[in-house]
Amino acid sequence: MKLKLIFLTLFLTTIQFALAQVKFETKVSKKKLGVNERLRVDFEMNKDGDNFTPPSFSGFTVVGGPNQSISNSWINGKRSYTKTFSYFLQPTRRGKFTIQQATIQVENQTYKTLPLKIEVTGAVEKPKDGNNTDFVASENLHLIAEVSKSDPYINEAITVVYKLYVSPRISVSNWRELDSPKYSDFWSQAVDMKQLKIENGEYKGEPYRYVVLRKTVLYPQKTGKLNIEPLTLNVAVDVPTKRRDFFGGRLYSTVNKTVAAGSRTIHVKPLPIEGKPDDFSGAVGNFSFKVTTNKTQLDATESLDAKVVVSGNGNLKLFDLPKLNVPKGLEQYEPQHNEKVRTNLTGMSGDISDIYTLVPQYKGKYPIPSVSFSYFDLKTKTYKRITSDEIIINVKNGPDGGNNVTSTESQTTSKKVVTQVGNQFRFLKLNPNLEPIQKTHFFKSTKYWLSLTVPLLAIPLFLFFGKKREERLSDISGNRIRKADKLARKYLSEAKKNLGNQKEFYIAMERALHNYLKAKLHIQTSDMSKDRIQRLLKERNVEDTISIEFIALLESCEFARYTPSSTSAMQQDYDKASRVISTIDKQL
């Protein structure tokens, strides 16, 4: 009886301990989502705690939360308590991420959640999360990828144009890329967009405004079904509400909308087998071909250039030029490859060339055989071949090599007997005109005495410059100023390298301006206000117009974080910064 009582006591104690155990765990709305979807993360506990600390959410942006909710109920005499901290997250890119541990303190004990793995894939066609965007923004904002051709041949150029359509019912204040397509099965080249232009158009029969965000030329490198990955943007959309202000004007609400262009599938056709030349190297398009030399008459040991050129429209960077074969007696060097190719919406155009340096060793006539080039013509959908003319190189003066070749056929069928005329050694110099070298003694010479005295004379110079160096190193304020001046020039140079990349350009520009002020006005970044900068520049006798321009540059760097800017505007800001800094230097 006592044994049963002991077991019953232990059982009840175990149940009571289990019921009293603290549970603290992480729950997510999904473990796999698209880059244009949102993730809900709940940190749930069964006991009230203090000092809740969330993880850093690396790979995500917090777009909502923390929201706190408490559930407290009694069922059949048993109390059920739940406290939840909720976050809404937006992925920043594709990949595999980890929701790290959150911590909380319950009764002076620290509890941690377990890490959770989350996979972020490419954009999905329709986000399944109802909390993704506002309905009005979803219905009036569209990102479209227009593909010029859905069934190209392999190595045939197609164009993808990304357009953002905005209804007149809403307005867009800013956007940024969340995910860019990789084009893994294509050779790709972005077409330079100098300035974004808003145009009027239609979307599904309704009037819309649109802006072309990106143009890309693609050359498929595989046959079959190829997928063009979507472009994904995060767009700040101003949506009208039913509320009005004091004067009756409609109030707007700003929501962040994630839009994707949608993946596109193209069917790439292989090139026909019928009529395909044996020497076909993959050229697809419309081309011309020629082989030229810069001279056809020269002397032995002189050099000439032979140029193999293909020009026209097509995949110029994606095939090899035919090789040049020359007869014996012409020394041939490795060719220099040149490309003058530009890319626009029709694809690549221009010319590519190989330039061979040839050096004849003997006099005579040397034929450069004709060279053939074949390509697939997209207009006629047939293979075409172009053959160059034979070029005769006439070497007038030089040693007699024994063969005087006038054609390709005679090179293999006829030989000329070498005859000695008695002066075959006429190229050797028999009188070298050598002169004896005069013997000189180093000991007690001028060089000897200089080598002894110069090190002794250099000792005071070393001491002088060493003292100056110690004084320079001990000058903390001066070193700080010199370092700031050096950084200003470094970041200004970095800004020039990043022309066209808005974010990196204006970050470098702002750092350059701040470090310049540190060097010239001896103030720190935390003390930089517009009024103080203007006052200090005026005290240093800097003109008011220059001060105003300097402040305007700082404001441009601030505004550029929130508004898109063109490459020409960045170039103007850079030129203005260089001019203003140079003018301040002169006036200081």
pLDDT at res. 269: 92
210-214, 299-303, 533-537: least confidently modelled range:
533-537
Mean of pLDDT values over 493-506: 76
Mean of pLDDT values over 46-69: 81
In this prediction, residue 154 has a pLDDT band, given cuts at 50, 70 and 90, of: very high
Question: Are 310 and 345 contacting, i.e. CB atoms less than 8 angstroms apart?
Answer: no
Mean of pLDDT values over 462-478: 70
- Per cent of the chain over pLDDT 90 is 14
Mean of pLDDT values over 344-351: 89
pLDDT at res. 409: 41
Domains and CATH numbers, the chain: 21-121 (2.60.40.10), 135-268 (2.60.40), 287-413 (2.60.40), 476-587 (1.20.120)
- DSSP β-bridge partners for residue 384: 375
- pLDDT, tens digit, 9 for 90 and up, residues 387-435: 999 999 898 887 876 444 444 443 443 334 344 444 555 556 667 677 7
Q: Output b/e per residue, 361-395; b: 16+ Cβ within 10 A.
A: ebbbbbbbeebebbbbebeeeebbeeebeebebeb
Pair of tokens at residue 325 = 């074969």
In this prediction, residue 160 has a pLDDT band, given cuts at 50, 70 and 90, of: very high
pLDDT over 60 at 92, yes or no: yes
Taking the C-alpha atoms of residue 285 and residue 316, their distance in angstroms, rounded to an integer, is 9
pLDDT at res. 30: 83
pLDDT at res. 352: 93
Which of the listed ranges 16-30, 318-332, 402-416, 475-489 does the model predict with the highest average pLDDT?
318-332
pLDDT over 60 at 538, yes or no: yes
In this prediction, residue 37 has a pLDDT band, given cuts at 50, 70 and 90, of: confident
Following DSSP, what letter does each residue of 272-298 receive, concatenated?
PSTT--TT----EEEEEEEEEES-SEE
pLDDT at res. 290: 93
18-22, 61-65, 184-188: least confidently modelled range:
18-22
pLDDT at res. 477: 55
Nearest partner of 141 among 33, 254, 222, judged by Cα: 254
pLDDT at res. 462: 78
In this prediction, residue 157 has a pLDDT band, given cuts at 50, 70 and 90, of: very high
CA 514 from centroid of its chain's CA atoms: 27
**What average pLDDT is seen over the chain?**
78
Tell me whether the omega of the peptide bond preceding residue 277 falls within 30 degrees of 0, making it cis: no
Taking the C-alpha atoms of residue 93 and residue 61, their distance in angstroms, rounded to an integer, is 10
pLDDT over 80 at 438, yes or no: no
pLDDT at res. 256: 80
Residue with the bigger pLDDT between 443 and 372: it is 372
- Sign, CA dihedral 357-360-365-369, equals negative
pLDDT at res. 83: 82
Q: Which residues have CB under 8 Å from 203's CB, separation 6+? A: 142, 144, 165, 167, 210
Mean of pLDDT values over 135-152: 85
- Per cent of the chain over pLDDT 70 is 78
- pLDDT, tens digit, 9 for 90 and up, residues 198-230: 888 888 878 888 989 888 999 999 899 988 888
Q: Which residues have CB under 8 Å from 314's CB, separation 6+? A: 155, 157, 283, 284, 285, 286, 287, 347, 348, 375, 378
Question: Are 580 and 543 contacting, i.e. CB atoms less than 8 angstroms apart?
Answer: no
In this prediction, residue 2 has a pLDDT band, given cuts at 50, 70 and 90, of: low
pLDDT at res. 407: 42
Taking the C-alpha atoms of residue 176 and residue 320, their distance in angstroms, rounded to an integer, is 39
Taking the C-alpha atoms of residue 574 and residue 188, their distance in angstroms, rounded to an integer, is 30
